[in-house]
Chains A and B, each alone.
Chain A
Amino acid sequence: MPPAEPVAAVPSPTDAALIAAWQGGDEQAAAELVRRHARALARFLAGAGAPEADLDDVVQETFIRAFRAVATFRGQCRFRTWLLTIGGNVLKDAHRRAKRSRVVPLGDDLRSTDGDPHERAVAAEAEGRLGEGLQQLPRLQREVFLLRAQQGLEYEEIAAALGTTPGAARVHYHHAVKRLKEHMK
């Protein structure tokens, strides 16, 4: 029996290619974009204060708004970064409707069974305090902090997405860190 020929790796389409395919009517391209970015978006939204019970709805609404406005996306930043900023707007609208701000149900993260129980408890406590502290920050500081510390983006990318300068983004980040550290003492 002849050895099987190695399967050539098929490069996955870029976000730009998927966006173009969606604009051409390909629904599966839209589905692929959701699969690709939904978890990162969900983490960002949860970090920004979306309750887990509403997380799926907020994620869906963010993608719907993004696809409606995708013709305005000029590639000034990555699609994911643009998506996260839309998510921030969706969450703000949701909070406005609810007339109250809720923090992430961080207790759910205690379900993890990896690692030392004491370490898990300490980590969960730190996350809880961080979540509370984030809710007390101005929206711009909170989003800059999450884009930088949670999503690992560069200041240039953050600035392009939020319509500010890299220097201003850096200042927002440092103010956020200072206030969060004070809160978590």
Chain B
Amino acid sequence: MKEDGTLPDAALQDAARRLGAGAAERLDVERTAQAVVARLREEREAPRQVWARIPASWLRIAAALVLIGGASIVARGIWPRASGVAPQVETVDLGELSPAQLREVLNSLDQPGPQEPVPAQDAGLEDLTPQQLRTLLASLEG
């Protein structure tokens, strides 16, 4: 001990070197080594065990979903505008109508339709929807 009451560096280092030595000596190193190896082995085998635990039927379903998803992506690539194609419009050959029928058509356009009202000033055959045209034709036939 120094005059100021502190330990000399050598004594401090000596105490530091002894610190924990007893506990370390009592450690069963071989048992620790085997325990570490066993845990490492478990960790290495764990991913394989996860796959093994999944039933084959679930794997087949997952594979089918992947195939369907892939096929839909491919289909979109091949027909990118498939959903944007305008539906075919049923057309009416006005030449086949009699003058009376044509007048009736024109009169009907002046009145709002029973299902989908259309402003008279904006109405024209080209503006009618297929449903409106079908309603119109039905009224002409009936």
Which residues of A approach B to under 8 Å, CB–CB?
Answer: 27-28, 30-32, 34-35, 38-40, 42-47, 52, 55-56, 59-60, 63-64, 67-68, 104-106, 108-109, 111-112, 123, 126-127, 130-131, 134, 145-146, 149-150, 152, 177, 180-182, 184-185
Given A30-B40, A131-B19, A43 and B24 touching (CB < 8 A)? yes
Q: Tell whether, in the assembled complex, residue A46 and residue B18 are in contact, meaning their CB atoms are under 8 Å apart.
A: no
* Chain B residues positioned under 8 Å from A104 (CB to CB): 19-20, 23
Q: Mark B1-38, 1 if CB is under 8 A from A, else 0.
A: 00011110101110111111111111111111111110
Q: Tell whether, in the assembled complex, residue B5 and residue A46 are in contact, meaning their CB atoms are under 8 Å apart.
A: no
Q: Tell whether, in the assembled complex, residue A109 and residue B22 are in contact, meaning their CB atoms are under 8 Å apart.
A: yes
Given A31-B34, A39-B27, A130-B12, A47 and B19 touching (CB < 8 A)? yes
Please measure, in the bound complex, the distance between the C-alpha atom of A56 and the C-alpha atom of B33, giving whole angstroms. 10
> B39 contacts the other chain (Cβ, under 8 Å)?
yes
Q: Tell whether, in the assembled complex, residue A64 and residue B28 are in contact, meaning their CB atoms are under 8 Å apart.
A: no
* Chain A residues positioned under 8 Å from B11 (CB to CB): 126
Q: Tell whether, in the assembled complex, residue A181 and residue B37 are in contact, meaning their CB atoms are under 8 Å apart.
A: no
Q: Tell whether, in the assembled complex, residue B16 and residue A184 are in contact, meaning their CB atoms are under 8 Å apart.
A: no
Which residues of B approach A to under 8 Å, CB–CB?
Answer: 4-7, 9, 11-13, 15-37, 39-41, 43
Q: Tell whether, in the assembled complex, residue A59 and residue B32 are in contact, meaning their CB atoms are under 8 Å apart.
A: yes
Please measure, in the bound complex, the distance between the C-alpha atom of A152 and the C-alpha atom of B16, giving whole angstroms. 10
Given A30-B36, A34-B33, A56 and B22 touching (CB < 8 A)? no
Please measure, in the bound complex, the distance between the C-alpha atom of A60 and the C-alpha atom of B43, giving whole angstroms. 14
Please count the residue pairs between chain A and chain B whose beta carbons lie under 8 angstroms apart in the complex. Answer: 126
Please measure, in the bound complex, the distance between the C-alpha atom of A1 and the C-alpha atom of B37, giving whole angstroms. 44
Q: Tell whether, in the assembled complex, residue B9 and residue A177 are in contact, meaning their CB atoms are under 8 Å apart.
A: yes
Q: Closest B-chain residue to A27, C-beta based? A: B37
Given A34-B33, A123-B15, A55 and B40 touching (CB < 8 A)? no
Given A39-B25, A45-B20, A109-B21, A60 and B15 touching (CB < 8 A)? no
Q: Tell whether, in the assembled complex, residue A127 and residue B23 are in contact, meaning their CB atoms are under 8 Å apart.
A: no
Given A131-B19, A149-B12, A149-B17, A126 and B7 touching (CB < 8 A)? yes
Q: Tell whether, in the assembled complex, residue A60 and residue B35 are in contact, meaning their CB atoms are under 8 Å apart.
A: yes
Please measure, in the bound complex, the distance between the C-alpha atom of A67 and the C-alpha atom of B36, giving whole angstroms. 10
Please measure, in the bound complex, the distance between the C-alpha atom of A183 and the C-alpha atom of B88, giving whole angstroms. 94
Q: Tell whether, in the assembled complex, residue B32 and residue A184 are in contact, meaning their CB atoms are under 8 Å apart.
A: no
Q: Tell whether, in the assembled complex, residue A130 and residue B36 are in contact, meaning their CB atoms are under 8 Å apart.
A: no
Given A27-B37, A30-B37, A64-B40, A126 and B15 touching (CB < 8 A)? yes
Please measure, in the bound complex, the distance between the C-alpha atom of A181 and the C-alpha atom of B7, giving whole angstroms. 6
* Chain A residues positioned under 8 Å from B6 (CB to CB): 181-182, 184-185
Q: Which of B18, B31, B34, B36 neighbours the largest number of chain A CB atoms within 10 Å of its CB? A: B36
Please measure, in the bound complex, the distance between the C-alpha atom of A80 and the C-alpha atom of B15, giving whole angstroms. 22
Q: Closest A-chain residue to B41, C-beta based? A: A27
